[in-house]
Amino acid sequence: MAEVLVYVDHVDGAVRKPTLELLTLARRLGDPVALALGAGAENTAAVLAEHGAVKVLTSDAPEYAEYLVVPKVDALQAAHQAVSPVAVLVPSSAEGKEIAARLAVRIESGIITDAVDLEAGDEGPVATQAAFAASFTTKSRITKGTPVITVKPNSAPVEASPAAGAVEALAVSFSDAASGTKVLSRTPRESTGRPELTEAAIVVSGGRGVNGAENFHLIEALADSLGAAVGASRAAVDAGWYPHSNQVGQTGKSVSPQLYIANGISGAIQHRAGMQTSKTIVAVNKDAEAPIFDLVDYGIVGDLFQVVPQLTDEVNTRKG
Amino acid sequence: MSLRIVVCVKYVPDATGDRHFADDLTVDRDDVDGLLSELDEYAVEQALQIADEADDAEITVLTVGGEDAKDALRKALSMGADKAVHVEDDDLHGSDVMATSLVLAKAVEKTGYDLVICGMASTDGTMGVLPAILAERLGVPQVTLLSEVKVEDGVVTGRRDGDSASEQLQASLPALVSVTDQSGEARYPSFKGIMAAKKKPVESLDLEDLDIDAELVGLAGSWSAVDSATQRPARTAGTIVKDEGEGGKQLAEFLASQKFI
Ligand SMILES: Cc1cc2nc3c(=O)[nH]c(=O)nc-3n(C[C@H](O)[C@H](O)[C@H](O)COP(=O)(O)OP(=O)(O)OC[C@H]3O[C@@H](n4cnc5c(N)ncnc54)[C@H](O)[C@@H]3O)c2cc1C
Ligand SMILES: Cc1cc2nc3c(=O)[nH]c(=O)nc-3n(C[C@H](O)[C@H](O)[C@H](O)COP(=O)(O)OP(=O)(O)OC[C@H]3O[C@@H](n4cnc5c(N)ncnc54)[C@H](O)[C@@H]3O)c2cc1C
């Protein structure tokens, strides 16, 4: 059967959820072959096999951490050559997109980014994309080369489907370009213990209506009661109330959770671009005319300082 | 020696307008007003700041797009860029990112450069991959998604705030940079800037000038194809409740009914 190359996003061997979702999609197209790079690459094999990887190619070298993006492109290109896949799937992270894009140039193939679904078609994989702040849905194909497709988190269920997952070391020779951009230092982001924003099933966000960094604990408390990630509008981020890494929207993270709760957020087009594909949308806003109410499944016109703590208490009580 | 900076700027349909696709499934650029992609304003701003710090620098703004795309160039010139290059050709209609990047790469090379600066993404296609592709095509280091950038003694350094870490990056010129909207507010054009822009040179190039075969660009020359575009059905009107003191509890009831609690 045809093979599909899947690029693995992992942290020291811990595979991130979007990669497992990719394996579900990959199985619709063929047999997944996974490529894991860097420290801990071999430790990814068990979970990848459990989710359908027939083979796991691994490579570790200091270059992956010391230089930006290109060494990983070299490795993906080597894997492409070794496997001759019918498609290459990469998670739609900032780095994932850049790796996929440079690979596509090298192998003279078209690229589709930010797919939200993927099906096998007569003329190769058909990708669904959300366009213009998710007001349109498009279906696209690659017409030249090996389809290179990046897929957004939460685009497919994670499904177990045990396969061999035989580990094989991949030989990679680095290009001259590999060492072009040095990573002088890397400061890991401190973990909050909350779910990753893009992967979370529930996201609770705060906007300008939260009115100060000191009030964001209300949003965090609600998030914690629901086991949710915390998001913020750009207005809240620009005001310095919450870190940019939590921004939801066009220039922040794009999220697609089961439930999105917007508190004190008006619903500007750039914010909607990052959350409009959420399954269920809830808003708390004191302005009945706020555009966010056009999107909601359930909305409360009210003061978030009243509604949010009451909701948090109620959730905690019900959880008992 | 002069530092040659080329800034890529895209002309896009206004996001607050009613954006949609034309019959051939390309972006309808006639029905909605266009403007300089707001995220490219940050690229122009960083170019101006880098030029200010350099002994001698020249900023060229470059766009690939139809006749109207000149507006984007004018805006960038009125912010303070020195000159503009406009690549326009009927055969470019419907180009995907591979075709567009091919044209941009040829135009950048023809213009001559030490540093190319892009926005982090356009506000229409929003792929966010063109800068990496352009760096690959040009064979220069990419220093992308920077929230802070500095150029000194032929070396570019910058900070990239990623999902899991913040990185300090460095590359030697020639190089390609892309900047995020965290890099610093873009300036407004002054009246003087707007007047001056009218006199600045805008060079027009077509495919022949760039020695590009028309078969490599446009809808037919693209390596990706859109088969369908459908408007998302408007969300069915939700329940909206005015808080009379029990709003939080009512919301909890809704969440429980949907099995979120
Ligand atoms: C190029 C570009 C990119 C952008 N990218 C993003 C992005 O990624 N993400 C993003 O979010 N924005 C982005 N923006 C900004 C966007 O246009 C809006 O300015 C921003 O989303 C507004 O944030 P907000 O809704 O929190 O604030 P506002 O629009 O000021 O809304 C605040 C809301 O809070 C309500 N409120 C106030 N007090 C209370 C209270 N006590 N209780 C309940 N409700 C209350 C108000 O009624 C109002 O509706 C971008 C803009 C541009 C130009
Ligand atoms: C909704 C939508 C989805 C699309 N999906 C795909 C797809 O999956 N695959 C594909 O191949 N094409 C796709 N396209 C086409 C693609 O967006 C265009 O070819 C575009 O010129 C390049 O992509 P971008 O603007 O999205 O680039 P981005 O990577 O988002 O742009 C980054 C930066 O590149 C520069 N830049 C981009 N275009 C130009 C230009 N014309 N002139 C000057 N500078 C420029 C700007 O500095 C910009 O800030 C899509 C277009 C739309 C509207």
Q: What is the DSSP letter of A109?
A: -
Q: Which atom of ligand 1 is nearest to the CA of A211?
A: 38
A141: which chain B residues are within 8 Å (Cβ-Cβ)?
224-225, 227
| B4's tokens | 């040659």
Q: Answer for the pair A197, A203: CB distance below 8 angstroms, yes or no.
A: yes
Give the single-character DSSP code of A239. T
Q: Are strands A111-119 and A126-131 parallel, antiparallel or unpaired?
A: antiparallel
Contact B98, B222 (CB under 8 A): yes
User: pLDDT (tens digit, 0 to 9) for every residue of chain A, 320 residues total?
Assistant: 799 999 999 999 999 999 999 999 999 999 999 999 999 999 999 999 999 999 999 999 999 999 999 999 999 999 999 999 999 999 999 999 999 999 999 999 999 999 999 999 999 999 999 999 889 999 999 999 999 999 999 999 999 999 999 999 999 999 999 999 999 999 998 888 999 999 999 999 999 999 999 999 999 999 999 999 999 999 999 999 999 999 999 999 999 999 999 999 999 999 999 999 999 999 999 999 999 999 999 999 999 999 999 999 999 999 87
Does this model's pTM top 0.90? My answer is yes
Instruction: Let me know: does A88 contact A100? Beta carbons within 8 Å.
Output: yes
Cβ neighbours of A287 (radius 10 Å) = 12
* Chain A: residue whose CA lies nearest to B164: A189
Q: Say if CB A90 and CB A5 are below 8 A apart.
A: no
The two structure tokens encoding residue A57:
């190619």
- Which of B42, B126, B179, B236 should we substitute to test contact with A (largest number of A Cβ atoms within 10 Å)? B126
Q: What is the pLDDT of residues B8-32, one digit of tens each?
A: 999 999 988 889 899 899 998 888 8
Q: Which of B255, B258, B259 to mutate to test the interface with A (most CBs of A within 10 A)?
A: B255
Measured from the alpha carbon of residue A270, the closest ligand is: 1
Q: Which residues contact A193 (CB under 8 A, 6 or more apart)?
A: none
In this complex, is the C-beta atom of B257 within 8 Å of any C-beta atom belonging to chain A? no
Query: For chain A, first and last CA: distance in Å?
Result: 51
Does A288 contact B242 at a Cβ distance shorter than 8 Å? yes
Ligand 2 nearest-atom number relative to CA B99? 19
CB pairs under 8 A between A and B: 261
Is the ipTM, as predicted for this complex, more than 0.90? yes
Q: Among B120, B122, B124, which residue's Cα sits nearest to residue B177?
A: B120
Q: Are A285 and A265 in contact (CB under 8 A)?
A: yes
Please state, in angstroms and rounded to a whole number, the distance separating the CA atoms of residues B111 and B131.
17
Helices (H), ranges, B139-190 = none
Evaluate the CA torsion angle B38, B43, B46, B52 in order and state its sign: negative
Residue in A closest to B147 by C-alpha: A244
**In angstroms, rounded to a whole number, what is the distance separating the alpha carbons of residues B219 and B96?**
7
Q: Return d(Cα A120, Cα A124) in angstroms, integer.
A: 6
Percent of chain B as helix, strand, coil, to the nearest 5: 30, 30, 40
Interatomic CA distance for residues A197 and A189, integer angstroms: 13
